[in-house]
Chains A and B, each alone.
Chain A
Amino acid sequence: MVCASNSPAMKRYNNRFIAAMLVYVAFLCPAVWLFSHHPPTGLVAYLIAVLPAIPIVAGLAVAGIYLGEEKDEFQRTIFVQSMLWSIGATLTVTTVWGFLEHFLQVAHLELYLLFPMFWFFVGISSLILKARYR
């Protein structure tokens, strides 16, 4: 998630996160096209299928680097609290959805959507927490 802040660490975090998401798009689009038009097989298929996940995981690493670089302890606290709230919200939504899928056969929730969901909740939590401390 991209955040609005003036700290140099946050600016670096935003740049790195945007770069990771650009790499994600660069990996995902060819992978989707390839699997719909010329499905690869064997080990290559596995490698191409996993490729878009790498920049997504890098997004978490970028968050970790930010926490190491941010000198403002209050901003660090907000970021950590946002992530904790988001973990709770993501686990709640997915658990509830899991039972709905199991008992009521509602639409299947793809696992790769968990990461965008997690960052969405980080964004919401961050806004709420910043408003609370304003």
Chain B
Amino acid sequence: MKNRLRVLRAERNWSQADLAERLEVSRQSVNAIETGKFDPSLPLAFKLARLFETTIEDLFSDEI
């Protein structure tokens, strides 16, 4: 699934490790989500949306 994580993370000058720490997950998890190789669960998607003060729809896109 496509997402805007990398852009939003860059805007805040956060590394993948910084984001992983805030989400309480591993850096590999952040990388896998960011590169679209792993789709997060709904609770984690909500956590991401809250962290970036946006909506899930704004973060993720199901367009191919």
Q: Which residues of A contact B (CB under 8 A)?
A: 5-7, 71-75, 77, 130, 132-134
Contact = CB atoms under 8 A, between A and B. Distances in A.
Interface string B24-51: 1110110111000110110010000000
A134 B32 CA distance: 7
Given A73-B25, A74-B25, A75-B28, 8 more contacts: A72-B24, A72-B25, A72-B29, A73-B29, A73-B41, A73-B44, A74-B38, A132-B37
A75 B25 CA distance: 9
Contacts of B25: 71-75
Nearest to A78: B28
A125 to B, nearest CB: 16
Given A7-B26, A72-B29, A133 B37 contact: yes
Given A71-B24, A74-B25, A74-B26, A133 B41 contact: no
Nearest to B27: A6
B26 A5 contact: yes
A96 to B, nearest CB: 32
Contacts of A71: 24-25
Interface residues of B, number: 13
A130 B28 contact: yes
Contact of B32 (A5, A6, A7, A133): A133
A74 B29 CA distance: 5
14 contacts: A5-B26, A6-B26, A72-B25, A72-B26, A73-B29, A73-B40, A73-B44, A74-B25, A75-B25, A75-B28, A77-B38, A132-B37, A133-B37, A134-B31
B44 A134 contact: no
Contacts of B24: 71-72
